[in-house]
């Protein structure tokens, strides 16, 4: 309840779905590939753990990329943020990216969370009580960060879960790597990394990828970068290589901008009739908002109506919305413009304009 009140005070649109606070999608900022984002939980120090949704939600290929679990392994955060804030869209893949599930550890460059628990020893799979730098917590899922990821993964169930680490320089052949050898081989080839068995001195107790794979939720795979990978490698070859191994590719953000059409007619009574359509490739099933301008001056705001089957057949689209505006204007030539609000990924809020001449009354 305190979280909801705090977010409400910041005017953040939110909802609660299955106990998870969801930040409602807003018009995307120019140049972002992010469709939406949500807070899946909080750390011990109440730092938000945020998941970003990218790509095509309708794609059969689904994946979650976790940038960081250990706070002293920051390379994955750099790679994750390069995807989230990149200038290209993700195509052919339904992708979620979480830069870090250990924001407290990341803030102080420490492997463990604020309770000094190694979060990769805190999962309910082969858990045992460990001490020292690998302290596994009081019991499985004892930590809020692990519980948040546990709930999110059980709900989402992506086909692939890729967890980024350092500094062992390789792609894991255990856990998901032993189940889906083709996927692990694609990762290794794309990154130029060797295949290695990350078996934690014979047994990995309480690890996330082992739990995820063993519970048959999907393929949990670990990628270990080297100790000091360059930013150019992380934001270049590594970013491209992981996306391609997952079955996705990069595309143009501009292709995600709304599209629309507009026609106008006028009568000598001063009545002006505007009719049009709007379509956003990222917003099927969601009404599109628009603003109307006459001769450069703001006139009104509105929402395009729900999809019309006849309109979609005529336009050969799925998800086009109809626009109908009736207004008045003095005699003379006028230019009407509609600016459609971008829903998710894209680069701009495009404008469609049409000119019309209102006749002088007979």
Spatial separation of the C-alpha atoms in residues 304 and 318, rounded to whole Å: 15
Q: Which helix (DSSP H) or strand (DSSP E) does residue 148 occupy?
A: helix 144-156
Q: Give the residue among 203, 180, 225, 243 at the shortest CA–CA distance from 68.
A: 225
State pLDDT tens for residues 188-244: 999 999 999 998 877 899 999 999 999 999 999 999 999 999 999 999 999 999 999
Backbone angles phi, psi at 30, to 5 degrees: -55, 130
- The domains found in the chain, sorted by start residue, are 14-253 (3.40.630.10), 257-358 (2.60.40.10)
pTM of the full predicted structure?
A: 0.81
What pLDDT digit, counting tens, does each position of 15-50 carry?
333 343 333 333 334 567 998 999 999 999 999 999
Compute CA distances 18 → 15, 95, 124, 135, 215, whole Å: 10, 20, 21, 31, 21
DSSP SS3 for 360: coil
> When comparing pLDDT for 319 and 55, which is higher?
55
DSSP-assigned states of every residue in 27-54: PPPTTB-EEEEEEEEE-TT--EEEEEEE
Total H helices, total E strands in the chain = 10, 19
**Which residues touch 131 (CB under 8 Å, ≥6 apart)?**
none
């Amino acid at each position: 309840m305190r979280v909801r009140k705090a977010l409400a005070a910041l005017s953040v649109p939110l909802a609660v779905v299955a106990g998870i606070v969801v930040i409602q999608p807003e018009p995307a900022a120019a140049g972002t590939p992010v469709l939406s984002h949500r807070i899946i939980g909080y750390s011990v120090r109440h730092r938000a753990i945020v998941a970003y949704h990218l790509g095509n939600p309708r794609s059969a290929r689904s994946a979650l990329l976790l940038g960081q679990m250990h706070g002293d392994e920051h390379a994955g955060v750099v790679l994750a943020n390069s995807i989230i804030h990149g200038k290209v869209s993700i195509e052919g893949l339904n992708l979620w990216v979480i830069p870090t599930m250990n924001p407290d550890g990341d803030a102080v460059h420490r492997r463990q969370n604020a309770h000094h628990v190694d979060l990769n020893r805190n999962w309910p799979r082969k858990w045992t009580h460990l001490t020292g730098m690998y302290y596994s917590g009081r019991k499985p899922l004892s930590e809020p960060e692990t519980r948040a990821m546990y709930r999110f993964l059980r709900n989402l169930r992506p086909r692939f879960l890729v967890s980024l680490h350092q500094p062992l320089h390789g792609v894991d052949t255990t856990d998901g790597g032993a189940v889906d050898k083709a996927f692990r081989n694609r990762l290794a080839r794309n990154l130029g990394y060797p295949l290695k068995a990350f078996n934690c001195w014979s047994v990995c107790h309480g690890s996330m990828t082992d739990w995820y794979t063993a519970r048959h939720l999907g393929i949990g795979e670990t990628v270990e970068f080297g100790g000091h990978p360059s930013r150019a490698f992380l934001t270049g070859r590594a970013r491209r290589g992981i996306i391609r191994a997952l079955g996705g590719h990069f595309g143009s953000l501009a292709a995600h901008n709304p599209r629309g059409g507009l026609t106008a007619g006028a009568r000598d009574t001063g009545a002006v009739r505007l009719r049009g359509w709007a379509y956003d490739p990222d917003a099927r099933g969601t009404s599109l908002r628009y603003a109307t301008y006459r001769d450069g001056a703001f006139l009104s705001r509105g929402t395009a109506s729900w999809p019309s089957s006849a309109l979609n057949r005529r336009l050969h689209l799925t998800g086009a919305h109809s626009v109908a505006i009736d207004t008045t204007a003095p005699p003379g030539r006028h230019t009407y413009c509609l600016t459609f609000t971008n829903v998710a990924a894209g680069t701009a809020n495009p404008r469609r304009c049409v000119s019309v001449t209102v006749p002088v009354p007979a």
